[in-house]
Amino acid sequence: ISHTWFLSIIQNEFRTGKIDLDSTMNLLEKLQISFDFTHVKHVFKKTVDKRKAHTINIEDFRAIYRTIVHRPEFHELFRAYSPNCKILADTELIEFLRKEQYETEACETTALEIILKYEPIEEVRKRRQMSFEGFIRYMSSEDCSIFKNDHRTIYQDMNHPLCDYFISSSHNTYLISDQLIGPSHLWGYTSALLKGCRCLEIDCWDGSNNEPVVYHGHTLTSKIPFRSVIQVIDKYAFVASDYPVVLSLENHCSPKQQEVMADYLESILGDKLLTSTIGDTVVTQLPSPEALKFKILVKNKKVGTTEEGMLRRDLDSHGETGEISEFENMSDEDETNEKAPLYPKSDSSKRKSEHRPSHPPRKKAKIKKIKIAIALSDLVIYTKSEKFVSFEHSLANQKCYENNSIGEIRARKFVTHSAKEFVSHTSRFITRIYPKGTRTNSSNYNPQEFWNVGCQMVALNFQTPGVQMELQNGKFLDNGGCGYILKPEFLRNHSSTFTPHNVGRYGKPMSLSIRVISGHQLPPSNLSKTNKADPLVQIEIYGVPEDQAKKKSSVIKSNALSPRWDETLSFTVQVPELALIRFCVEDEISLVTNEFLGQYTLPLLSLSKG
């Protein structure tokens, strides 16, 4: 039957006897097969080179189709469940789903849905059966993706307070290359929002003609109007996700231009902008992502409390400014230093409190006064930026709608020396981590170490590819890619004693075994003139320190089309809720260097069995 079906689809193309490479590609598309141009071209070339021609006949095409499509590993599996090796009856398909795919609930309906969706041969489909052609299409489909199907949609409880979630966050969102002379560009905002990012950073400075501009201050990065940034955010904020977007303002503007910013935020964003509390004026708990759907929140310093701001709601506060006092240089890096990597201050006083990071400031600390336009201040409702002093200070004084930004160096010291206090802090308050100012090339730190202690906004340079962004993208595939992921219970509970270095009773050991079977149409090596590579697979676990692990398969020589490993790699994971798994395929170039071919990262608990 499958032979007749195959011929009925392709014979029309061979009316004139032979077809070229382009027609071969079109025909494969018609057969609904995913293929890689380089590999098909190579197999085609091999076929025609024997005869020194540029075209192939119908038999050649069938051979090419089999080489690309009929993978032996699929055939072995198919034969194990099909008594006659030609057809799977619905009952045999159910047995396959239960035994191999761990779909314990699989029944006649499940099997029929799969047959109707993937069986290309009408005659077989009508008999409620599946041919090898249908089986191949099913095995290569999204339904057999390693990523759990029900994690592709929002499945977590979205009614917890905002601080109970990991929130996808970007640093210096306006930059699209480096931090010193690179371009600032609106595309930075568009692409971050389309990737599901929910916390954007906007660096605002006074511009000419009373128009605030966005750029990386004290550097030669180009400038974009604040107005344009807000227009782009208005357009793309809720394309990838319905859940709230936080605008983290790094504000260097005079009160006069801060008023202009407030006007733009209100006039451009309209109803999307959150300008008042939801329900109660007195804020005792942060609202949930669900309650803030389709809302844009402003994160900035604020004069006084949210309640006081609410009382002023209907008054015109243009021209009014307030003043905030805060201790200057409380650590060797803070928000103000973050932006000025080019002018290191020679002030030695700022190193004083460094060796005791969780101490309140000494009396000598200079107090700095900051002027803020009331019009802008009153737009800050649930995300008031508050300078971080110490964990004790926050516990005693900080309100639930006040949040801190802590630089990566200082935050790393806390992870090492006061992880328990850090976890207790992030269970109560939104905490943002940002890269150190010396990362002028926009490199990133490993976000995992800060997720491990419950930091909600671990801000990365989205424009810089690499393992760090791969971990970020992998983590936020979860929960429908909506940019909010509910933290594990032990990072939400105020009385938790969890620390990443000593998981104790919070460990839920899980044994994981992965059989690396084969690869298919991998990218060829950069060194190869044909379609060859020497691929190996590396599996990495990222999580709490004791879960960090790496294991490698053997190397398959000169085969990128269909390398076959059949090796099993096993891991034990103590805290699966925080673990990510990364599959990385590399090409062994020499005994000491490998070239990256591709990777896929996902949360361990989003891994589908089977």
State the catalytic residues: 171, 216
- Cα separation of 287 and 266, whole Å? 21
The two three-digit tokens of residue 238, written as one number: 């809720």
Asked if 565 and 537 count as a contact pair (C-beta separation under 8 A), the reply is: yes
- Cα separation of 69 and 87, whole Å? 17
Exposed, middle or buried, 32 (CB in 10 Å: 0-12/13-18/19+)? exposed
Bridge-based pairing of strands 580-588 and 594-603 is antiparallel
Exposed, middle or buried, 476 (CB in 10 Å: 0-12/13-18/19+)? buried
Q: Name the H helices within 435-575.
A: 448-451, 467-475, 489-492
Q: Which amino acid is at 500?
A: P
- Cα separation of 154 and 149, whole Å? 11
Exposed, middle or buried, 3 (CB in 10 Å: 0-12/13-18/19+)? exposed
Bridge-based pairing of strands 245-251 and 199-205 is parallel
Task: Quote the Cα angle for 521-523-525, to 5°.
Answer: 125
Asked if 244 and 290 count as a contact pair (C-beta separation under 8 A), the reply is: no
Look-up: residue for tokens 């600390």? 365
- Cα separation of 549 and 572, whole Å? 9
CA 218 to chain centre: 30
For the chain, what is the total number of helices (H) and then of strands (E)? 21, 21
The two three-digit tokens of residue 410, written as one number: 């200082």
Helix axes 37-49, 58-69, angle to 10 degrees: 140
User: What string of DSSP letters covers 450-476?
Assistant: HHTTT-SEE-B-TTS-SHHHHHHHHHT
The two three-digit tokens of residue 50, written as one number: 């024997």
